[in-house]
Structure 1
Amino acid sequence: MNQATAHHLTTIENTNCSSMATQPTVFTDIYQDHINIAVWQRNLTLELTQEVALFLEQNPTFRKAISLSPETALAELDLATQRKLPKPLLENIAQLVDMFCCLFDINEVGLRLTALNSAMCPRFHVDHIPCRLVTTFHGTASQWLPNDKVDRTKLGHGNNGLPDDASGLYQQESDIAQLSCGDVALFKGEAWAGNENLGIVHRSPVTSPTETRLLMTLDFC
Structure 2
Amino acid sequence: MAAAAAALFRGAWTSKQIKAGHRLEDLQSGQVNIVHVIRRQPAVQDVPAAQLLTNQQGRQAVIDLRRDPEAAVAYLLESVQHTQLQQQLQADLLQAAQCISSLRQVDHVRAKLECITKQSCPQWHADTVGVRMLCTYAGPGTWYVENKHVTRHLSPWTGSASIAAVDERCAAQAGPGDLLFLKGNLSRGMAGAGAVHKSPGVAGECDARLLLTVDDACCSG
Q: Does the alignment reach a TM-score above 0.5?
A: yes
**What does residue 130 of structure 1 align with?**
130
**What does residue 19 of structure 1 align with?**
21
In structure 2, what residue type is equivalent to 1:29?
Answer: D
Alpha-carbon distance, 1:97 to partner = 2.5
Alpha-carbon distance, 1:85 to partner = 3.9
Alpha-carbon distance, 1:142 to partner = 0.4
User: Aligned pair 1:38/2:57, yes or no?
Assistant: no
Alpha-carbon distance, 1:219 to partner = 1.1
Alpha-carbon separation, structure 2, partners of 1:55 and 1:142: 15
Q: How does 1:81-160 map to 2 (within 5 A)?
A: 82-103=78-99, 104-105=101-102, 106-153=106-153
Q: Which runs of 5+ in 2 are unaligned?
A: 1-16, 155-159
Alpha-carbon separation, structure 2, partners of 1:142 and 1:122: 10
The number of equivalent residue pairs is 191
Distance 1:78-1:55 versus aligned 2 partners, 3 A rule: farther
Asked whether the equivalents of residues 55 and 85 of structure 1 are also in contact (C-alpha less than 8 Å), the reply is no
**What does residue 203 of structure 1 align with?**
198
In structure 2, what residue type is equivalent to 1:95?
Answer: A
Asked whether the equivalents of residues 74 and 90 of structure 1 are also in contact (C-alpha less than 8 Å), the reply is no
Alpha-carbon distance, 1:139 to partner = 0.5
Asked whether the equivalents of residues 133 and 219 of structure 1 are also in contact (C-alpha less than 8 Å), the reply is yes
Q: Give the secondary-structure state (helix, strand or coil) at the position aligned to 2:60.
A: strand
In structure 2, what residue type is equivalent to 1:203?
Answer: K
Alpha-carbon separation, structure 2, partners of 1:60 and 1:213: 14
Alpha-carbon separation, structure 1, partners of 2:34 and 2:73: 27
Asked whether the equivalents of residues 101 and 107 of structure 1 are also in contact (C-alpha less than 8 Å), the reply is no
Q: How does 1:158-197 map to 2 (within 5 A)?
A: 169-171=165-167, 173-197=168-192
The structure richer in strand per residue is 2
Alpha-carbon separation, structure 2, partners of 1:82 and 1:101: 18
**What does residue 28 of structure 1 align with?**
25
Q: Give the secondary-structure state (helix, strand or coil) at the position aligned to 1:151.
A: strand
The structure richer in helix per residue is 1
CA RMSD of aligned residues (A): 3.0
**What does residue 50 of structure 2 align with?**
56
Asked whether the equivalents of residues 143 and 179 of structure 1 are also in contact (C-alpha less than 8 Å), the reply is yes
Q: Give the secondary-structure state (helix, strand or coil) at the position aligned to 2:61.
A: strand
Alpha-carbon distance, 1:79 to partner = 4.0
**TM-score of the superposed pair, with normalisation by structure 2:** 0.73
Alpha-carbon separation, structure 2, partners of 1:208 and 1:72: 39
Asked whether the equivalents of residues 48 and 207 of structure 2 are also in contact (C-alpha less than 8 Å), the reply is no
